[in-house]
Amino acid sequence: MPEKIKILYVDDESNNLIGFKASFRLDYTVYIASTAEEAHDILDKHSDIRIIFCDQRMPHKTGVEFFEEVRQKNALPIRILITGYTDIEAVIDAINRGNIFRYVKKPWVDADIISAIEEANKFYTASSLLAVKNSELQIAYNELDKFAYSVSHDIRGPLSGILGAIRVVKHLDSIEDMKEMLYLMENSVKKLDTFILSVHDYYNLQRGELKIVEIDLEKVVKDLKDIYNIYSNANEITFTTFVKQSEVFRCDETSLKLILNNLLSNAFKYQRKGNTHKEVELIAEVDKSIAYFSIKDNGIGIAQNHLGEIFNLFYRATTTEAGSGFGLYNVKDALLKLNGEIKVESVVDEGATFKVSIPSK
Amino acid sequence: MSKYNFIVIDDSELDCYIAEKMIRYSGLSEDVKCFTGANEALQYVKDKDVAENDLQTVVILDVLMPIMSGFDYMDEFDKLPPEVKRKYQVIALTSSMNRNDIERIRSYDSVFDILDKPLSAESIAVLLSKL
């Protein structure tokens, strides 16, 4: 059963308050107040009150004045005035100024109040839904701004590099020099490609639904090993893996792979040139319904002052390798969806260890 | 036409290379130095002795770079003594179409002009004729 709608009734006549509460307390949660001050206190304490009824004629304040105050503090609750015919001018004025949703004439009958509540509740639901949608839209706009900003740099950057390289090649005579330019151009194309793939990941994460399945960590790690073995052989990086799974782990496989892939590709990418024992280690374990992953490398590491920011969108802590500033942001975003956590420890020139924990769904 | 020394600061190795080639093709360069990190370039400028008869140095500065951006570089550069600053003409180079960025880099007194990427031999020649 859904929670009862919360209603506040303000009237200086205690008989009316008692009568109102007696009539409606079974169907709704009814709060009553005999003065405007008392009503404000109740509203402060119960911000989820949806509908306020108020008598127009009270000793110190009119209902319209009270509603004006309420509206300035919190515009969400639906305001309904209770009044006799004699106050009709005040009612028209209040409706026109947008302070009240409708009015109920005095003396009221239960049916009037109930229909007012039902209508008001519909209106409340619609407008609060709109408020939620609006704030979602605002977040989306902000992201889009950030996005458009980076796109101009991250897509145009490599492209203008390639264009410039083509112009340079026109001046060149030696095949060797041209080959070198082609190599540089290839890197630019790769960079652009990585960027576009990350954009794809980013949007899948933003819009995608989670598909929870049972995960076989042995298999996930074996797939990753297959992908990275080529890389580890070519660059003489020792890649060791360790898996321990004796219980079921349920998770979204795409998100999990995205997380591990990004962390591993960073571990392989940010190696120290000249290091003779380059190492990357991946450990995956499940214990008491939580999966723990550790991705460790002995590469360039991350300086302490960058550690807090590496998960921010488009943040880059180094110029040495082709990064998009997208990877760790996507990792963090995916972990947020999976209720997971990530920690990083690092010492410059000694390496970095990322520790991820994800609860089984 | 007199010759200039050049410093290129760009986090992209390719862009540095292109800039260097184009500068050499312009035929107006004496020396070209490339830095992929703005902090290293700044250190170089700080450490270098300045003599009265030194050639003017044109600094081709990328704006959006990780760690130390073009803005950060200019903030630090502005703190250098006037006799050092006089020897450098900064040209901001950008692929960003963001108006805020362009206005912001233009607002530095020491930034002489702004060029769009990629750099071409022609744009360098036009620029140098204005110096």
pLDDT of residue A323: 65
- Give the C-alpha separation, A9 to A113, whole Å: 11
Rounded to a whole number, what is the distance in Å from the CA of A136 to chain B's nearest CA?
Answer: 25
The string of pLDDT tens digits covering residues A305-334 is 888 788 876 676 665 555 667 788 888 888
ipTM of the assembly?
0.73
Q: Which CATH superfamily is domain A209-361 in?
A: Histidine kinase-like ATPase, C-terminal domain (3.30.565.10)
pLDDT of residue A28: 93
Closest chain A residue by Cα to residue B22 = A168
How many Cβ atoms sit within 10 Å of the Cβ of residue B89?
20
Interface probe for B, chosen from A151, A168, A187 (most Cβ of B below 10 Å), is: A168
pLDDT of residue B72: 92
* Pairing verdict, β B29-35 and B4-9: parallel
- Please report, to the nearest 10 degrees, the dihedral formed by the alpha carbons of residues A295, A309, A327, A256 taken in order: 50
For the CA atoms of chain A, what is the radius of gyration?
32
Rounded to a whole number, what is the distance in Å from the CA of B82 to chain A's nearest CA?
Answer: 30
Interface probe for A, chosen from B11, B13, B18 (most Cβ of A below 10 Å), is: B18
- Give the C-alpha separation, A323 to A321, whole Å: 6
CB pairs below 8 Å between A and B: how many? 80
The string of pLDDT tens digits covering residues B85-95 is 989 999 998 87
Q: Are B117 and B93 in contact (CB under 8 A)?
A: yes
Q: Which segments of A155-252 does DSSP mark as H helices, in order? A: 156-171, 175-207, 217-234
Q: Which CATH superfamily is domain A6-131 in?
A: Response regulator (3.40.50.2300)
Say yes or no: A250 contacts chain B, CB-CB below 8 A. Answer: no
∠ CA A195-A201-A204, nearest 5°, is 145
pLDDT of residue B88: 92
Rounded to a whole number, what is the distance in Å from the CA of A260 to chain B's nearest CA?
Answer: 24
SS3 A300: coil
Rounded to a whole number, what is the distance in Å from the CA of B51 to chain A's nearest CA?
Answer: 32
| Alpha carbon separation from B8 to B17, B80, B82 (Å, rounded) | 9, 19, 21
Which residues have C-beta within 8 Å of that of residue A181, sequence separation ≥ 6?
A165, A168, A169, A172
pTM higher than 0.80 for the full model? no
Say yes or no: A149 contacts chain B, CB-CB below 8 A. Answer: yes
**For B86-114, what is the mean pLDDT?**
86
Query: Do residue B14 and residue A157 have CB atoms under 8 angstroms apart?
Result: no
pLDDT of residue B97: 63
pLDDT of residue A318: 66
Q: Which of A346, A243, A351, A260 is nearest to A297 (CA)?
A: A351
Q: Are A352 and A299 in contact (CB under 8 A)?
A: yes
Backbone angles phi, psi at A286, to 5 degrees: -120, 130
pLDDT of residue A324: 65
Q: Are B55 and B5 in contact (CB under 8 A)?
A: yes
* Pairing verdict, β B57-62 and B88-94: parallel
User: Considering only CB atoms, which chain B residues are within 8 Å of A320?
Assistant: 36
> Is residue B118 reached through a cis peptide bond, with omega within 30 degrees of 0 on the bond before it?
yes
Domains of chain B, first to last? 4-130 (3.40.50.2300)
Residues in chain A with pLDDT values less than 70: 1-2, 85, 98, 150, 152-153, 313-314, 316-324
Query: Do residue A153 and residue B95 have CB atoms under 8 angstroms apart?
Result: yes
